[in-house]
Amino acid sequence: MLVRMLPSFGTRRSVRVFERNFAIYRSQWLMLVSGFFEPLFYLLSIGLGLNHLVGHLPVDGRVVNYATFVAPGMLATSSMNGAIIDTIFNTFFRLKISKSYEAVLSTPLSVNDVALGEVWWALARAALYAASFILCMVLLGDAGSAWVLLCWPGAILTSLTFSCVGLAACTYIRNWQDFDLVALVQLPLFLFSATFFPLSLYPHWLGDIVFFSPLTQAATLLRGLSLGQLHWSLLFPVVYLSAIAAVSLRIAARRFATILAP
């Protein structure tokens, strides 16, 4: 549903925004390559440290080691962090500092094209980083089953959701100091989204709140795919994340139109 909506949201000219970003980062390839080391550091720190301390955890009737449990959650976190960096920090610079979008809108591109082009770029980077993360999971023995390959589209959906949320949030940021508010939201999401522990271990009242965190739903989806537990219940995170992405993208486009209005 969301994949069909995205092209109709803008036009094919949104690809020009993607091409612009690609041309810029092509001369800064070290920034792209550095993203491939993040999954390796994440998984090594878990596998060589916490995995031996925590031991095993039950997941839907199956007992798995801690590294296998945490790895999909870290993949979700990595997808979230990458999307936020691309669509909040980088977009803020183009929107408020360099005024790049004002120049872009002097061409036939529309505000929707700009928003959609930024999302396409964030997804392209996310796809590369997710592939490297999954490869590290397999090589380090943290993949729960052969179904771990399905985590790739799941991670892209996660990045899509947080890219759209980040794009919308970026339009409300007034100055660099407001980025502290981003960290204020991002850190609790990271710590309290079933990334490190099952929802069943949270206090009842906190578990009900954590359940509706988009990162919790992303971690639940990726963990189910990694372990090969392909239940109908996995459709809920897919629909939930898609709905958040669709609403956020609409908000972002309207806010962009307001800010960039002549």
**pLDDT tens, residue by residue, 57-91:** 777 777 888 888 888 998 999 889 888 888 888 88
Q: What is the signed CA dihedral for 193, 199, 202, 207, rounded to 10 degrees?
A: 70
Structure confidence by residue, pLDDT tens digits, 113-148 = 888 888 888 888 889 889 988 988 888 888 878 899
Return the exposure string of 167-187: e unless at least 16 CB atoms fall within 10 Å of the residue's CB, then b.
Answer: bbbbbebeeeeeeeebeeebe
**Does the pLDDT value for residue 3 go beyond 50?**
no
Q: How many domains does the chain have?
A: 1
Res 196: pLDDT? 84
* Terminal CA-CA length for the chain: 33
**Does the pLDDT value for residue 260 go beyond 80?**
no
Is 162 within 8 Å of 79 (Cβ atoms)? yes
Range 206-232 average pLDDT? 91
Cα R_g (the chain), whole angstroms = 19
Note down the domain range covering 131: 2-259
> Please, which pLDDT band fits residue 8 given cuts at 50, 70 and 90?
very low
Is 123 within 8 Å of 160 (Cβ atoms)? yes
Q: Which residues pair with 56 in a beta bridge?
A: 65
- How does the average pLDDT of the chain come out, rounded? 83
Res 6: pLDDT? 47
DSSP string covering 76-94: HHHHHHHHHIIIIIIHHII
**Does the pLDDT value for residue 5 go beyond 70?**
no
Say which range, 13-27, 35-49, 141-155, 162-176, has the weakest mean pLDDT.
35-49
Res 199: pLDDT? 84
What's the pTM? 0.86
Decide: helix, strand or coil at residue 141. coil
**Does the pLDDT value for residue 2 go beyond 60?**
no
- Spatial neighbors of 20 by CB under 8 A, at least 6 apart, are 104, 117
Res 166: pLDDT? 92
Res 239: pLDDT? 96
Phi and psi angles of residue 62, each rounded to the nearest 5 degrees, phi first: -120, 140
Res 1: pLDDT? 45
Return d(Cα 214, Cα 26) in angstroms, integer.
Answer: 32
- Cα–chain-centroid distance for residue 12? 23
**Does the pLDDT value for residue 9 go beyond 60?**
no
Return d(Cα 75, Cα 122) in angstroms, integer.
Answer: 16
